[in-house]
Every structure is written in structure tokens, then in C-alpha cells.
Structure 1
Amino acid sequence: MKIGCVLVMYNPQRELLTASLNALNEQVDEIFLGDNSVNMPDFITTLLNLYPNTYYHSFNKNLGIAEAQNRGIIYFQKKGFDFVLFMDQDSLAPNNLVSSLLADYNRLKEIGIPIGGIGPRPFNRGEGKPYVGAVKKGKLILPKITEVGEIISSASLIPIPHFKQVGGMESSLFIDGVDHEWCWRAKKIGGWRFFISESVQLSHQVGEGDRPFIFRKVAIPTPFRTFYQFRNYFRLVHRGYVPLYWKVSNGFKYSIKFFYYPLCVPPRISYMKQILKGIYAGITGK
């Protein structure tokens, strides 16, 4: 069994990328390092000498995370790999990540469950608290295994044959909602189910940091990312396979963000411009 890791990066920090590669190097057979940066970071050559099982590919422009992941999927498909492990440049894999995911994957497989993918429990690196869905928290179906409607791409382990049946990531979404859309599509097409292994946690950071809002803290994206959040919501909301709870809960959430970001989060004007552009692009299909 061969496992390939697709790690997508964009203007990475040397220390964090080195730590990520160091954590993954002994856990997978090969790493596909897809670089969305316009210019190749000057430290890449040094890193590649340290990690010879890493294949570096520069796209020379930002293709978005979806298309970059698709390039990695094709790379490992051609090489006959069995699984792909997706990683982000800002996520740090624990040493037991792959072994724990595989162990729980096999537990599910033994009882005949159709597994679309499995990932660890992400936790907020700044807060030290696990990320748990506000609406859908999942259901514990085996000790330390929670079934959920979708998993985030970072540290998700997915059998490569699934991509032949379901297709790759939707490139036009670019960055936001890419992982969830694929999970929902896989459930519709193949009846695949998705799981979180509670045996392993992933150090992760959503957005540009958390800010207090009413009685809780919320992840704040950049204005650039906010454009895609609003655009992709309107692009996905009319699709039948997208869960109703997501449509309703995110409709409520984005209604609040529509006022909160321009009023409370600098640069306020940039947020308002990107929100309006995102809504227009989502409605018109651009």
C-alpha cells in the first residue's frame, strides 16, 4: 500500500513548511509539493535536498487550492498509489497521523462501511480547543470514530480510486468550500461516508486569527478570502446535493458577516468591496 501526500503551499514561511515536511517525511511514501506562489521561495532547493522523497512542482501562478490538489491527485494516480493525504502548509501533522487514520479506516472497512475519507480532529492552535461543528457535531459510531457530513481537506486520507468515480476537486471554487463540496458530491455519486478519528488531533488555524464576537470567538479571513466565501455560497446554495443545514446556517452566518466585517474589522472598505463583489460574482456565475 502506497500513500502520497499532496501539500499545497502559497508564499510559505520557511520554519512552518520545514516543520510540516519533517512531520510528514516518515509517514508517507512521497510528497507532492504544489506551489501556488508566483515566485519560487529561495529556500526550496535546500529543503528538497533534505527530503528526497518530495517532488516539487511550481505552477508559477496561483491556481487555487482545488486545481493544485487535482494536479497532485493526477501525479499519484499515474504512479499507482492507493491513498492520498491532503495537507495545508499551515497545518502540523502529529507523528501518529497516518497510522491512526489507517487503523480507523481498516476498522470501518472491516464492518462493511463505504468510506469516502477520514481525517483527524482539528484543533485551534491559538485557543488549544478542538473544532466542532456548530450545527452538525457528528455521531460516534465506533469508539473514537465520529461520522460527519464532511471533512476538511487538511490531513484527510482518501482512497485514490474514488477520484475516478467522483471526479476531482472543483477548480472554479478556487479555495473556499472545496473540500466540503467534494464530500457532498462523493456522497451523492458513490454513497461514500466520512469520518473523524478522535484518536489523533491536527494543529490547525482557520482564517487570519480569532476575534471576539458577542459570546464567542470567530475566525476572521482576509478580504481576499471573504470574496470567495460569499461568491461560493451563492454558487453552491442552489445545488441539490448540498445539505440544507449548510445552506441555512451559512446563509445566517453570512448575513451577520455582511454587516460585521465592514463595521468592525479593518480594512473595513476592503471587506465591503470584496463582499459585494463576491455576491455579484456568485449570483451572475462569474
Structure 2
Amino acid sequence: MNISIIVTYNPDDKVLDIINSLLHQNTEIIVVDNCSDNSKIINKVLEIQKDKENINFHKLKKNLGLSKAQNIGIKYSRERNAEFTFFFDQDTKIPNNYIETMIENWNQIDQTDNKIGILGPNYLNPETKEGAKFLILDKNKYKLFKINYGSNEVNNLISSGLMVKNTVFDSVGLMDESFFIDQIDTDFSIRVNDNGYKIYVTANTQLEHCIGETSTKKIFGKVFKTNNHSAMRKYFFIRNSFWTIKKNRLSGPMKVYIAHQIIYTFLTAILFEKNKGIKLIKMGQGFIDGIRYFSKENQKQ
């Protein structure tokens, strides 16, 4: 048995497409809703649930964050003794044979490397029509690459489309609920590696997924991509980036990678995004709260 977790918060019709696709695949579905306001879409989900046995709906009384909602799904998956748990964002577009293809690829990798703990797909940004770049850490540096064929070991994956073997949670633990949203998957990927498991990505299946409302700008021949996230999302990204560095024993290249992400987020928001003022304020608050976490942890040591 496999369980697919879909976390929703004020979703649009795209979530219905994901559900309808998964209903015809080798998986049971749990939708965890973070107290959405748009009852029209949620009511449609409930209508689907009435007619189908392999979908469950769990509505929270308030927005408890992505990581809390994911953990509710993970606990349900483990109670059901599922072998694998899949994670999906509410706006991701998946192929109709996604689950089967991922399991096939997992089994192929497992024949040569039984340390695999996570498998992710290739990603296509539907707005820019570009494929995703994946992180690989060397001893002295990090690099980002696109995958065109086969499967590759990587060091970090985003959660949408993620396939996790449920026994991994026994040693790695669940998602960190203190993060609320953003960098949850980075923290989880780090802990997966630290516990001796490996992370793979396969080019044999692809999801359509974009992070925020992606836009591309060019200055002096240099291309900048910005996600146009809200000011609150900027806050959590900056704060949680510092928390990720502090709570985990990171290699030098991983620290540099996260530091570059922080700088890039500040830079692109200030140069290219709307509502710069409030975003700068929230990012500043995230920076301060991240530093405070450093200080508190240092005082404990």
C-alpha cells in the first residue's frame, strides 16, 4: 500500500486535477486542509470523498502550517502500514502513471543501492518551460545541475512529488513543525543524509511545478529568477534558513549554498518584486529571529 498526502490551503481547481489523477493510481489519498476559506473547492473535494473509498479528508480548525499538516498525513500513512508515502503540493500537475513509474524507478535503483531513502521526479516550470536544477555537494563546493536521463544521487529535493520509504521516518523523524512553511524539505533532506540514507532524482518522470509566481529579469547579461512570494513567506524562508544551518551539522558547501539562497532572496526581492517595503521588513524580521535562534542555542551549550 502507498499513501499520497496533499496539503491544501485555499486551493484552486488544480487540486481537483491532482486528486482525480491519483484516484486512478496505485495509492490511497489523504487531503489535509489548513482551514481554507474557499469552501467551494473544499466542498468539491468532500463530494469526491463521498463516492470514493481511497480518499480521506482531514480539516484542521486553524492553519497549523505545512509541516504539521504533512506530519498528520505521515502518521496516517504509518498507521495504515504503507510502504511508501508520497507528497504533493496543491498546484502540482502530475502524469497519470506517476505512482507506478516512481515505484518502478525506485526498484531499479534499489537493486544497486539499497540505501535509497527518498526519490524525487524531474520538474518542469510551466511558466518558464525550464527544467529544475538539483543540488550536489562536493567536499569543497556545491553545484547545481539539470538531469536529462537516468537517475542521479543528489543532496536536496523539494517536497512536491517526493517518494519516501516509511521506514526512513523511524530514524530520521518527521517534518519539523517549528518551521511552519519553507525550508522544511531542505531540513528533512539533510537529516535523511545524516542518517545514512541516500536521495535520488529520476528523469524518467516529470511534474509540472513552479515555486511561487516565477518571473525572469536580466541585468548586464545576468539572468535573475524571482518567485514573488508574499512578505510572510519571505520571513519564514529567511528565518528557517538560519534555523537549518544552526540545528544541523552541515558541511561547508551546504552552508555556502544556504547563505547564497539568503542573499539571492534579499537581492531579487529588493530589485525586482512588488511590495518591496513590507517584504524587506519581514525579511529583516526573519533575519533577526534567525540570529536570535543562534544566540539561544549558543547560550545552552
What is the TM-score normalised by the length of structure 2? 0.86
- Partner Cα distance (1:194, 1:61) in 2: 33
Unaligned runs of 5+ in 1: none
Cα distance in 2 for partners of 1:109, 1:203 equals: 26
For residues 146 and 262 of structure 2, the distance between their equivalents in structure 1, rounded to whole angstroms, comes to: 26
Structure 1 residue 213: Cα displacement? 4.3
Q: How far, CA to CA, are the matches of 1:139 and 1:22 in structure 2?
A: 30
Cα distance in 2 between the residues matched to 1:64 and 1:213: 34
Say yes or no: does 1:188 pair with 2:169.
Answer: no
Matches within 5 A, 1:1-286: 2-13=1-12, 15-39=13-37, 41-51=39-49, 52=52, 53-133=54-134, 135-137=142-144, 144-189=150-195, 191-214=196-219, 215-220=222-227, 221-285=229-293
**AA at the equivalent of 2:198:** R
Q: Which amino acid aligns with 1:69?
A: Q
**Separation of aligned partners in 1, 2:236 and 2:209:** 20
Q: Is the 8 Å Cα contact of residues 245 and 255 (structure 2) preserved in structure 1?
A: yes
Give 1:243 shift. 4.0
* Cα distance change on mapping 1:40 and 1:222 into 2, 3 Å: closer
Aligned residue for 1:206, secondary structure, equals: coil
Moved more, 84-93 or 40-49: 40-49
CA positional deviation for 1:209? 2.1
Q: Is the 8 A contact 1:116 1:183 kept in 2?
A: no
Deviations 1:77-117 (A, max 9, x none): 11111110000001111112111111111011112431111
Q: What is the SS of the residue equivalent to 1:57?
A: strand
> What is the distance in 2 between the residues matched to 1:179 and 1:48?
28
- Give secondary structure in 2 for the equivalent of 1:98: helix
Q: Give the deviation of 1:239 after TM superposition.
A: 4.1
Letter in 2 for 1:61: K
1:150 match: secondary structure: coil
Residue 240 of structure 1 deviates from its aligned partner by 4.4
Q: What's the CA shift for 1:30? A: 1.3
Shift of 1:131: 0.7
**Distance in 2 of aligned mates of 1:147 and 1:39:** 40
Identity %: 27
CA shift digits 1:54-85 (9 cap, x unpaired): 11111122111111100001011111111100
Amino acid paired to 2:201: I
2:34/2:63 contact within 8 Å kept? yes
Number of residue pairs the alignment of both structures matches: 282
SS in 2 for 1:181: helix
Q: Shift of the alpha carbon at 1:26?
A: 1.3
Alignment check: 8 A CA contact 1:169 1:182 kept: yes
Residues 1:284 and 1:213: Cα distance change in structure 2 (over 3 Å): farther
SS at match of 1:270: helix
Runs of 4+ residues over 4 Å off in structure 1: none
CA drift at 1:217:
3.9
Aligned residues of 1:137 and 1:148 also touching (Cα < 8 A): no
Preserved contact between residue 3 and residue 29 of structure 2 (Cα < 8 Å) = yes
| Worse-superposed segment, 258-267 or 54-63 | 258-267
Kindly tell me: are residues 139 and 10 of structure 1, through their superposed partners in 2, closer, same or farther at Cα, counting changes over 3 Å?
A: closer
